[in-house]
Structure 1
Amino acid sequence: MTRAPSPHTPLDSHARRLNRVIDHVDTHLAEDLRLEHLAPLAAFSPFHLHRLFHSWTGETIRDFVRRRRLETAGIRLRNAPGLSILEIALSCGFSSAETFSRSFRQHFGLSPSAWRVHPALASRPDSQSISPAQDLGLESVELHRFPSREVLYWRARGDYAEVVDSLWARFLPWVRSIGLENQPLLGMGLDDPAITAARHRRYDACVVLPESWQDMACQLSSRKRVEGGWYACLAFPAERIDIGAAWSWLLKEWLPGSGFTAGTAPFFEAYPVNPQLSERRRTDALLCMPVLPLAR
């Protein structure tokens, strides 16, 4: 099969290497994430990584790690009622509940216990309100077990309403150009709009790779592994409701009484193979939330 040319620039390389650091932070929050330990992941010196990361994201590595630890803790406080505040603190890289509580209050203006008890207060003013389940007309949630998969992805940062469609409009022609138009497509909003400021939100447009796939096209994308497991899946009727309202219903209406807690793997939207660019807004999707059974 003839592949499209894949021009390579230093900027592409830097983006891939910095994304590698960002993805590592998100999946290793409980570990030592100091600058000198992260620099080898990007093959930069600590000084060079500090300078590039701040220029590219507007945050220092230290500030980014702290923010991701606190935001992830906020999500787990809301979605994982079976975990104690101490368990959440330790899983997000804090040495004690006291240190965590102090940092959490400084960042969010609420204590962890107040955040957990009053979830209505734990939302940003620019986040979406929840529509009642009966108004959404959503179909029943089904459980599916997905295997681990490797994906190529392009990432956009900013308000999802402003960046997602333009990202897919650029990504899908590239997917076709490298011969992967018949592979599954995943969309990942990596940050919760109820918690993360719009300027910091990240969205990945992903194409699932066939096993043992290798191609120089990777030069224009980042590559990562999406861990498998059990997911609660909700058919999203694109013609009827907004996707943000569907996610809100799944998290805040279905999850609390489901007997499950949200897992730590990324949430994602699974799209039909090769949707038409002009119809992506109207394309039905499967909303997939990682879940674990509540401890009895």
Structure 2
Amino acid sequence: MYQVEIVKRPARRVVGLEHRGAYGVIGGTFERLGSAIEAMGLRPEAVELLAVYFDDPGEVAEADLRAVAGIAVRKGLPLPEGFAEAKLASGQHAVLTLAGPYDGLPAAWAWLYREWLPASEFEARKAAPFEIYLNTPGEVAPSALRTEICVPVAKRRGLSRR
């Protein structure tokens, strides 16, 4: 159904705005983020546009879900006032690239965790998963959107080499 690649990613520093509540409505937080980074002159500092997710929606009440809508920035940039910070782990990541509208993201996340991961030789690490937005609705039509879903993984313990 989807393609998954194992990609080695560097550690990243993300600064952005905290989001509380349903992950599906994080778009409003991104709108506020866009205005904030323009007002503060951070646009040149932005390396990537990301959402970092700290809680499992299957285990945490929707109202209590925590995320950061942010931009990856260089290490030395001071944390802007009112912004949150997230540090992304380096190492291997399972990466699923979704082509199309954002409303396809929940099904892609569910498939990655419920079907691909249990059938693979990998397990999720205790590090925050995230999305990288390769383009945005302001740049392309919804059908042309591309989003990388990135889950930090490690080889499952106890598997023998073949």
Normalising to structure 2: TM-score of the pair? 0.83
What whole-Å deviation, never above 9, does each CA across 1:49-91 have from its counterpart, x for those lacking one?
xxxxxxxxxxxxxxxxxxxxxxxxxxxxxxxxxxxxxxxxxxx
Code of the residue aligned with 2:122 in structure 1: it is F
**Alignment partner of 1:192: what SS?**
coil
Residue 169 and residue 183 in structure 1: after superposition, are their counterparts in 2 closer, same or farther (change >3 A)? Answer: same
Residue from 46, 50, 74 that aligns with 1:210: 74
Q: Contact between 2:68 and 2:86, CA under 8 Å: does it hold in 1?
A: no
Taking the aligned partners of 1:213 and 1:173, their CA distance within structure 2 comes to 19
Shift of 1:279: 6.2
- Preserved CA contact (<8 Å) 1:175 1:207: no
Check 1:171–1:240 CA distance in 2 against 1; reply closer, same or farther (3 A cut).
closer
State the match for 1:257 in structure 2: 119
Percent same amino acid at aligned positions?
A: 26
Query: 2: CA distance between counterparts of 1:240 and 1:212?
Result: 32
Looking at structure 2, the residues matched to 190 and 224 of structure 1 have their Cα atoms a distance apart, in angstroms, of 10
Cα distance, 1:254–1:170 mapped onto 2, change above 3 Å: same
Q: Secondary structure at the match of 1:233?
A: strand
Distance in 2 between the 1:294 and 1:262 partners? 9
More strand by share: 2
Q: Where does residue 141 of structure 1 map in the other structure?
A: 4
- Judge conservation of contact 2:68–2:84 (CA < 8 Å) in 1: no
2:36 pairs with 1:165: no
Which has the bigger relative contact order, CA under 8 A and spacing at least 6? 2
Secondary structure (helix, strand or coil) at the match of 2:108 reads helix
Q: CA deviation at 1:224?
A: 3.2
Report if aligned partners of 2:17, 2:33 keep a CA contact under 8 Å in 1.
yes
Aligned partners of 2:30 and 2:70 also within 8 Å: no
**How far apart are the structure 2 equivalents of 1:248 and 1:149?**
25
**What does residue 110 of structure 2 align with?**
248
> Which residue is equivalent to 1:150?
13
Aligned residues: 155
CA contact (8 A) 1:172 1:277 kept: no
Answer 1 or 2: which has greater helix percent. 1
Q: Give the drift of 1:284.
A: 1.8
| CA deviation map 1:67-125 (0-9, x unaligned) | xxxxxxxxxxxxxxxxxxxxxxxxxxxxxxxxxxxxxxxxxxxxxxxxxxxxxxxxxxx
Gaps (5+ residues) in structure 2? Answer: none
Amino acid at match of 1:190: F
Match of 1:193 in 2: 57
Q: Secondary structure of the equivalent of 2:111?
A: helix
Contact 1:169/1:277 (8 A) holds in 2: no
For residues 259 and 236 of structure 1, do their structure 2 counterparts lie closer, same or farther at Cα, with a shift above 3 Å needed? Answer: same
Q: TM-score, length-normalised on structure 1? A: 0.48
Check the 8 A contact 1:147/1:229 in 2, yes or no: yes
Q: Considering only CA atoms, is the larger Rg found in Structure 1 or Structure 2?
A: 1
Instruction: Measure, in 2, the Cα distance between the counterparts of 1:264 and 1:280.
Output: 35
Q: Identify the residue that residue 184 of structure 1 maps to in structure 2.
A: 48
